Amino acid sequence: MNVLVWFKRDLRAADHPALAHAAGLGRVLPVYVVEPELWRQPDASARHWGFVAESLAELRRDLAALGAPLVVRTGDAVEVLAELAARHGVTRMVSHQETGTQWSFARDRRVAAWARQAGIAWEELPQAGVRRGARDRAGWAGFRDGFMAGAVLAPPALSAVPGVEPGMIPSAAALRLAADRCPHRQAGGRARGLALMDSFLASRGEGYLAAMSAPGTGERSCSRLSPHLAWGTLSAREVDQAARARAEERPGGTWGGSLAGFRNRLAWRDHFLQRLEDVPDLEARAMSAAAEHLRPREPDAARLEAWAGGETGLPYVDACLRYLAATGWLNFRARAMLMAVASYHLWLDWRATAPVLARAFTDYEPGVHWSQAQMQSGVTGINVPRIYNPVKQGQDHDPTGAFTRAWVPELAAVPDIWLQEPWKWPGAKGLLGRRYPEPVVDPEAAARAARAAMGVLRRAPEVREEALVIEARHASPGATDPRFRRDALSGRRARAVEPGQLSFGF
């Protein structure tokens, strides 16, 4: 029997349930379809493709060593899969379930329709702690625990379908992706992911909890595994089990809290993936219908351009945006702040700003990204709005000003006391409005206006009633699962980790 394995966001051979299953069925045809239409979507970018292309090249070598090199084809998924199946006598297809955008959901439905018509048996297997088709969260934590505790699968020996040309891995230019200068983007490939995991668990991760809140310190102390999890060069299961094994060594120091906090965030990752699995149109529609028209759907173009370009006149915000543009990564708290400032201070609709960040994050994971975009914008109906003070965030997380000055060199001469609010500096004449912009809004006045608007929304009786329905369907695991209610530093029972503080750049 010839079995086609369709790779998507699972670019590895190890701990790959679909590949292992296919290897036991017959000869294997491993395929990755480069879909030009996918790469034309507003959440896609050249930095994503750069990471993917590097990962595909390594995956091809790994699969060749197992006996069946990766086949790459460019085109519409249905057309490519149909042509390969007909030419090479494929009767079964195996892939992992994908929790993605509406575009990928619609594509998978088209593939399913073709497979049924062509008589191809298509199996989709889970690759994370995400359960498909459930009506609510009852039993979800147990399902996830069971999956994550399962055996990490070794790369299987493969018997290849003969006579298949491997094909070229196209360049970003060939896909007509806009040029994207990201000089410090993380490189793709499983080997790099494993090296990062090893260094994090051996040394870098000891200060994880203390250092993760600031981009300057988080750059080294965070795991930096998020792009490898997003594109599947590593599985969440193997990372979680490696972290658990390290904790069982009882390394001392602050390791216990750091490893517990890291594993908690892996669990929250699955929670957010499950939310998108349950509500596949999160990118287009607010969870709370009452908040659907909270902000103008047509954003203020000048504010959006200033925010996207790191020219808001709010120094720490601009520093984080420019750092993100150059690296493709940002720590969790800074991500939350950027989305909150755009939504509350600039009063921009999340559907206009979230794609900007999606394109910038090398580790863009739809399930996490769209849940967080809504959460940080106050449109879920169940999360308390977090209106970050961008001045205080800079003072708290860049107390020396080194990070801000590195990425906003226009402010090099501003004294420390005025760095995060240079408009108050007596010597600002000749600087603001010339070398560095005036702030696009008064941050204090903008926060007051946003707080008032959100208060009106949340006090409405229909909103409160709606929130009860949403909570019943999408309750965070912290409400019922003690694993999400342990203080990461002490291990003692505590309030649930505030999900509004979380994002993916762990």
Residue 97 CA to residue 99 CA, distance in Å, equals: 7
Last residue of a domain, one of 80, 102, 127: 127
From 308, 306, 341, 347, select the one nearest 438 (Cα to Cα): 306
Segment holding 27, helix H or strand E:
strand 27-34
Last residue of a domain, one of 84, 111, 127: 127
Residue 389 CA to residue 219 CA, distance in Å, equals: 22
Q: Is residue 235 part of a domain?
A: no
Is 436 among the annotated ligand-binding positions?
no
Contact 335, 504 (CB under 8 A): yes
* Max CA distance (Å), the chain: 78
Q: Is residue 175 part of a domain?
A: no
Q: Is residue 201 part of a domain?
A: no
Per-residue pLDDT for 497 more than 60? no
Q: Where are the beta strands (DSSP E) in 59-132?
A: 71-74, 90-96, 121-125
Q: How confident is the model at residue 446 (pLDDT cuts 50, 70, 90)?
A: very high
Q: Is residue 458 part of a domain?
A: yes
CATH number of residue 415's parent domain: 1.10.579.10
Q: Is residue 474 part of a domain?
A: yes
Give the per-residue pLDDT at 504: 53
Q: Please, what is the average pLDDT of the chain?
A: 92
* Average pLDDT of the residues in 348-369: 97
Give the per-residue pLDDT at 422: 98
Q: What pLDDT, in 10s, does the model give residues 118-165?
A: 999 999 999 999 999 887 888 899 999 999 999 999 999 999 999 999
Tokens 């994002």, located at residue:
503
**Identity (one letter) of the amino acid at 259?**
L
Q: What pLDDT, in 10s, does the model give residues 180-234?
A: 999 999 999 999 999 999 999 999 999 999 999 999 999 999 999 999 999 999 9
Look at residue 66 and give its three-state secondary structure.
helix
Q: Is residue 457 part of a domain?
A: yes
DSSP letter assigned to residue 342: I
Crossing angle of helices 366-377 and 255-278, in 10° steps, is 90
How many angstroms separate the Cα of 385 from the Cα of each of 439, 454, 458, 459, 486?
A: 23, 8, 10, 13, 23
Provide the residue range defining the domain that includes 453: 289-484
Structural domains in the chain (count) = 2
Q: Per 3-state DSSP, what percentage of the chain is helix, strand, and coil (rounded to 5)? A: 50, 5, 40
Is 361 among the annotated ligand-binding positions?
no
Q: Is residue 491 part of a domain?
A: no
Q: What pLDDT, in 10s, does the model give residues 2-38?
A: 999 999 999 999 999 999 999 999 999 999 999 999 9
Give the per-residue pLDDT at 489: 30
Residue 494 CA to residue 260 CA, distance in Å, equals: 13
Contact 463, 288 (CB under 8 A): yes
> Per mean pLDDT, which range of 247-251, 281-285, 495-499 is the poorest?
495-499
> Per mean pLDDT, which range of 121-125, 235-239, 459-463 is the poorest?
459-463
> Per mean pLDDT, which range of 81-85, 165-169, 499-503 is the poorest?
499-503
* Burial (Cβ within 10 Å: 0-12, 13-18, ≥19) of residue 153: middle
Q: Is residue 267 part of a domain?
A: no
Give the per-residue pLDDT at 472: 65
Tokens 């060199």, located at residue:
409
Give the per-residue pLDDT at 152: 98
**CA-based angle 280:285:287, to the nearest 5?**
85
CATH number of residue 62's parent domain: 3.40.50.620
Last residue of a domain, one of 81, 107, 127: 127
